[in-house]
Amino acid sequence: MSKKEDLAAALRQWEDGPVAKTISRFPERMKEFTTHSGIPVKRLYTPLDVADLNYSESLGFPGAYPFTRGVQPTMYRGRFWTMRQYSGFATAEETNRRFKFLLEQGQTGLSVAFDLPTQIGYDSDHPMAQGEVGKVGVAIDSLADMEVLFDSIPLDKVSTSMTINAPAAVLLAMYIAVAEKQGVPMERLRGTIQNDILKEYVARGTYIFPPKQSMRLITDIFKFCSENMPLWNTISISGYHIREAGSTAVQEVAFTLANGIAYVQAAIDAGLDVDRFASRLSFFFGSHSNFFEEIAKFRAARRLWARIMRERFGAKDDKSCRMRFHTQTAGCTLTAQQPENNVVRVTLQALQAVLGGTQSLHTNSRDEALSLPTEESVQIALRTQQIIAYETGVADTVDPLAGSYFVESLTNEIERRAMDYITKIDELGGAPTAIEKGFIQREITESAYDHQRKVDSQERIVVGVNKFTVKEEQSFDYMRVDPEAEKRQVERVRRLRSNRDQAVVDSALEALREAAKTDANLVPLILDAVRAYATLGEICGVLRDVFGEYRAPDVL
């Protein structure tokens, strides 16, 4: 008999002997188990479960195609992941103070949260902004605000991630202009703009323009940065918001990569060479609570993207095939009940991201189900990353869970199921068309409903919510945004308009308007308008006039 046959025989003997006896004694523990994506979990995994795994084609070595085991040869033995806490609230001054606090605590990169009016291209004094200024992020109306936001923060020494999508080109231009005032040329800037509009149509809703015009702006940014900003990540293709909307881990991989395929194809159709821009693409995933599924998800996503880039798009440079990604622990898993439990949840989710090979990480704070986090809470969240990095030893070797029969089997199954989704999306005409038809939205909605049904029936336990509950009294000193912050921000933007050279602003905006009617790259025109202190709302208003606004159809 072969070794494979010997193992199969020994496995049957084990199942017929010790397992059968245990089942007869504890039948209540012998139910079927699945991951949160519905993948069946076997009682035991053996080499038989990964017998068809070709090492060179599917695993290989870290830093080498297909990057299953990581995108860097030495991973965290070379340097730790970037510890990048997401921050922003009220005004630029207050957020600047929070940035400096986090940098003093050992944070290694900045991540900017913008308020809702900024995200949808309105100035703080616009009627649509009333009541929302500074509430879920920092209000940025003009270059003057951006100058305050990064005051005394050397942009040649930190990398900055900006969670901004529809007006991404405007905020990028503001960042470039601030750097110029610091004497830092744009080619030395390091960071990321999210710039992922497709997931806004699917899961988040902070879109402005129709899909075609939005994709035009994205490819303009790709081209501008490929020529002028070699260290800048031009897009962060986001699965995080898809997952927060209710998708499974498999759907998160599939729909994120399907969007990535659409962006790459749009750039190629616009005349860009894949190996000129693909190395600056980045991704953004959530880390949820099914420990091994999440680790396998990260590994499967890397391998699948590498294969897509090489086999579908013909990328010749291995750097074009690397999936570099940021991870955020799962906001939707945080509970208002027993909020201290969130520290445990975040710790495990952060550990998953590290074991899965993330390039940067945000750890949520314990009080985020209740309010914006306090300084004490964000310090605990940051310390969570630092303890994992410096005390646990999990970063001492590359891909420490590789070779686990369970992890490798899960990695294979997630990749297979995600590819099935991508094939279906291709058959529908690609991600933009699948979004227009409501396919992706319906899949997410059904998964979200299934999750809630399981929580309601206690088929899925959420500690402190549907089991192990206690009578609680409010114990946190929650953070509250100063209600006067909106008034101060409104006064600031109105004062800016009265003190600038309006003729220069008008000229820059008119040049942008005329360029938007052509196929010219709009980033240089937006940069000119920003330098003249045109506001975010004025710039987006010009583009609204030319492009129109998107209205979501009723597809559910």
DSSP states of 413-475: HHHHHHHHHHHHHHHHTSHHHHHHTTHHHHHHHHHHHHHHHHHHTTSS--BTTTBS-------
As a whole number of angstroms, the distance between CA 166 and CA 548 comes to: 13
The model's pTM: 0.95
Which two tokens mark 334? 């945080």
The pLDDT score that the predictor gives to residue 30 is 73
Return the SS3 of 327: strand
Best CA proximity match to 265, nearest among 422, 411, 119: 422
Is the bond leading into 127 cis (omega within 30 degrees of zero)? no
Which two tokens mark 26? 């504890």
List the Cα angle 266/270/276 in 5-degree steps: 85
The 3-class SS string of 201-266 reads HHHHCCCCCCHHHHHHHHHHHHHHHHHHCCCEECEEEECHHHHHCCCCHHHHHHHHHHHHHHHHHH
The pLDDT score that the predictor gives to residue 4 is 86
As a whole number of angstroms, the distance between CA 200 and CA 399 comes to: 33
What letter would DSSP give residue 408?
H
CB count, 10 Å around CB of 348? 15
As a whole number of angstroms, the distance between CA 405 and CA 430 comes to: 34
Best CA proximity match to 244, nearest among 286, 289, 197, 303: 286
As a whole number of angstroms, the distance between CA 203 and CA 66 comes to: 29
Residue 326: beta bridge partners? 284, 360
DSSP states of 475-542: --------THHHHHHHHHHHHHHHHS-HHHHHHHHHHHHHHHTTTS--HHHHHHHHHTT--HHHHHHH
Phi, psi dihedrals of residue 331, rounded to the nearest 5°: -60, -35
Phi, psi dihedrals of residue 533, rounded to the nearest 5°: 70, 30
CB 364, CB 372: distance < 8 Å: no
CB 267, CB 33: distance < 8 Å: no
The pLDDT score that the predictor gives to residue 161 is 97
The pLDDT score that the predictor gives to residue 556 is 55
What letter would DSSP give residue 273?
-
CB count, 10 Å around CB of 169? 26
Distances (CA, A) of 112 to 122, 138, 163, 175, 326: 17, 8, 6, 11, 14
The tens place of each residue's pLDDT in the chain, 556 residues long, gives 688 889 899 999 998 898 888 888 887 667 789 999 999 999 999 999 998 888 778 899 999 999 999 999 999 999 999 999 999 999 999 999 999 999 999 999 999 999 999 999 999 999 999 999 999 999 999 999 999 999 999 999 999 999 999 999 999 999 999 999 999 999 999 999 999 999 999 999 999 999 999 999 999 999 999 999 999 999 999 999 999 999 999 999 999 999 999 999 999 999 999 999 999 999 999 999 999 999 999 999 999 999 999 999 999 999 999 999 999 999 999 999 999 999 999 999 999 999 999 999 999 999 999 999 999 999 999 999 999 999 999 999 999 999 999 999 999 999 999 999 999 999 999 999 999 999 999 999 999 999 999 999 999 999 999 999 998 876 667 788 888 999 999 999 999 999 999 999 999 999 999 999 999 999 999 999 999 999 999 999 999 999 999 998 775 5
Best CA proximity match to 489, nearest among 174, 176, 171, 130: 130
The pLDDT score that the predictor gives to residue 54 is 82
Return the SS3 of 48: helix
CB count, 10 Å around CB of 262? 22
CB 148, CB 492: distance < 8 Å: no
Amino acid identity of residue 250, one-letter, is V
Q: What dihedral do alpha carbons 167, 173, 179, 183 form, nearest 10°?
A: 180
The pLDDT score that the predictor gives to residue 29 is 64
CB 103, CB 381: distance < 8 Å: no
Best CA proximity match to 418, nearest among 281, 297, 329: 297
311-320 burial, b if ≥16 CB within 10 A, otherwise e?
Answer: eebebeebeb
List the Cα angle 542/546/547 in 5-degree steps: 110
Return the SS3 of 356: coil
Q: Is 204 left (phi over 0), alpha (psi -120 to 50) or beta?
A: alpha
The 3-class SS string of 292-315 reads HHHHHHHHHHHHHHHHHHHHHCCC
Structural domains for the chain:
55-84+192-456 (3.20.20.240)
As a whole number of angstroms, the distance between CA 154 and CA 140 comes to: 19
Long-range CB contact pairs, 22-29, < 8 A, 24+: none
The pLDDT score that the predictor gives to residue 474 is 67
Best CA proximity match to 240, nearest among 303, 193, 195, 283: 283
